Structure 1
Amino acid sequence: MKTPFTMLLSLLLMVSLTSSAQNNQVANSTFNGTTASSYVGMVEVGYLYQDNKNNAPNTADSSPTLILFNGYQFHRLFSLGATVGLDFYNQVLVSPVALGIRGTLLTTRVSPTFGVDAGYGTTFLSDESDNIKNKGGWMVNPTLGMRVLAGNNTAFLFNLGYKIQRATTTEPVPWGNNMFITEKHSFKRLSARLGFMF
């Protein structure tokens, strides 16, 4: 079975190979806001970090994350689209589906960027063996970062953000008959992602 990180790298490679066909739709001048509105896509891979206060001191939990953004750029300061992704938390695999906003502040080759994703994290891909039931919840992820134009109608991205994701896990009590324990998760993690724009 593939590890979560191997799955992320495989998806990133697959998207990068298919994006070359779509590069003709978006020029670097579009990224700078000097042409008409057009399609914009982004792929970002990284980690979500959280202090682990329940275990040994000075430790942290980290989980891989992948985000795909497909949208329409109205202006360099405003792109609107949909995001889908995978967040590999220890307790549950969450697949967030959200409305996303992206913006680039400057017309220079290197520019600060911002973004906000808000939506719902589903758990339909999560493993529910041994009668464990997972349920998703709402999600929000504001980010700030940098964009570097790379030629060939692409740009590299780096961003930091703060992701809040709600989820619920229900599992049977080992010693009880038809008794269940429900645990509500509120994941609050620093997000750090690298990616590219096409």
Structure 2
Amino acid sequence: MMEKLLLLCFMLMTSMLNAQSEENIATIYLNNGEVYKGNMVDYRKGEYLVLKRLNGTLDTIPDNDIQRIEQIQMDIKPVKKASVQKRVPQVVQKPAPKKKRKYLFRETGWYNATGFSGFGGRSGSYLKMGIGISTTTGYMFNRMVGIGLGIGKDNYSSRQGEGLFPVYGEVRGYLKKKSNTPFYAIKAGYGMAFANEKFGITQAEGGLMLNPSVGYRFGGDKTGNIYFEMGYKFQKQFIEKTSTFNSDITVVDAIYNRISLSAGIIF
């Protein structure tokens, strides 16, 4: 009698354990198309899932490999003739991963960089400011090396008619294959100056122009990326100017050494 009672208790416990395990059955769909079934022992979003397979083995699955999880619950409702078990699948939706902005910057091919500049420096005890605009068109052979030609208009003083028109060659390159990256640029050429009788400038000569700089590009799109740039600008200039009031002659024989700050757009 005791043996039958123990056997009956063992069968009841086994059936209860099986029912409990069936209530927690989960179907795991992986990104590679594989499907696993079993009991979820431990699940940590973003890290891993521990699954006890139906054959009793334990698998640890990285969360990045999981496409979706379907968990089955047992909904048991009593009826007059028999109890009917209805399986209700529940889909556990994983949060959609954030879309990274695609890197589309043209590392090879034609480019144009157009921007405005400000120049600052000292002449004796005075702080001198100037402004400029330039545009450069060139060809990138690879991400690190490109060459181009450019023109611009620079004013190193507030006096009218003393502007320079630099014509230059450029070498530039980008240090990282990223949307936001530092870059270098070296411009060298000749700043042209012209006489202008309207402002009393009877003689004008330009000279060598050199402008090495480093900067930072924001954006990795095909066109329309903003950049900021800081560098050093060297420029020679000679001007002979006659005053329209008293015919006094002013001679400007200058070598400008200026810190340059620029901002613009790369196409």
TM-score bucket of the superposed structures, by smaller chain: 0.7 to 0.9
User: Does 2:267 correspond to 1:195?
Assistant: no
Instruction: Report the Cα distance in structure 2 between the residues aligned to 1:106 and 1:127, rounded to whole angstroms.
Output: 50
Deviations 1:111-141 (A, max 9, x none): 0000000000011386763253221111000
Letter in 1 for 2:163: L
Query: In structure 2, what is the Cα distance between the partners aligned to 1:110 and 1:50?
Result: 30
Deviation string 1:40-69 (CA, Å, 9 cap, x unpaired) is 0000112011124344xxxx2211111101
Aligned CA RMSD, in angstroms, stands at: 2.5
Aligned to 1:94: 164
SS of residue matched to 1:190? strand
Percent identity of equivalent pairs: 22
Given that residues 150 and 156 in structure 1 are in contact (C-alpha distance below 8 angstroms), is that contact kept between their aligned partners in structure 2? no
Contact 1:43–1:68 (CA under 8 A) maintained in structure 2: yes
Within the alignment, does 1:186 sit opposite 2:255 as a pair? yes
* Unaligned segments of structure 2, at least 5 residues: 1-102
| Residues 135 and 151, structure 2, Cα contact 8 Å, conserved in 1 | yes
Out of 174, 186, 199, the position equivalent to 1:129 is: 199
TM-aligned CA distance change 1:126 to 1:139, over 3 Å: farther
Count residues in correspondence.
Answer: 161
Q: Contact 2:105 / 2:223 at 8 angstroms: preserved in 1? A: no
Change (3 A) 1:71 1:47: same
Shift of 1:100: 0.6
Relative contact order (alpha carbons < 8 A, sep ≥ 6): 1 or 2 greater? 1
TM-score (norm 1): 0.72
TM-score between both structures, scaled by the size of structure 2: 0.55
2:105–2:220 contact (8 Å) kept in structure 1: no
Separation (CA, whole Å) in 2 of partners of 1:47 and 1:127:
27
After superposing on structure 2, the runs of 4+ consecutive aligned residues of structure 1 that deviate more than 6 Å are: none
Question: What corresponds to 1:38 in structure 2?
Answer: 109
Deviation, structure 1 residue 181: 5.5
1:109 corresponding residue in structure 2:
179
What is the aligned partner in structure 2 of residue 4 from structure 1? none
Aligned to 1:15: none
Matched residue, 1:29: 104
What letter is aligned with 2:226?
A: F
Q: 1:139 to 1:131 in 2, by over 3 A?
A: closer
Change (3 A) 1:101 1:156: same
Alignment of 1:1-198 (within 5 A): 29-31=104-106, 33=107, 37-55=108-126, 60-90=127-157, 91=159, 92-124=162-194, 129-149=199-219, 151=221, 153-172=223-242, 182-198=251-267
User: Whose Rg is larger?
Assistant: 2
Q: Aligned pair in 2 of structure 1 residues 126, 47: CA closer, same or farther (>3 Å)?
A: farther
The offset of 1:172, in angstroms, is 4.7
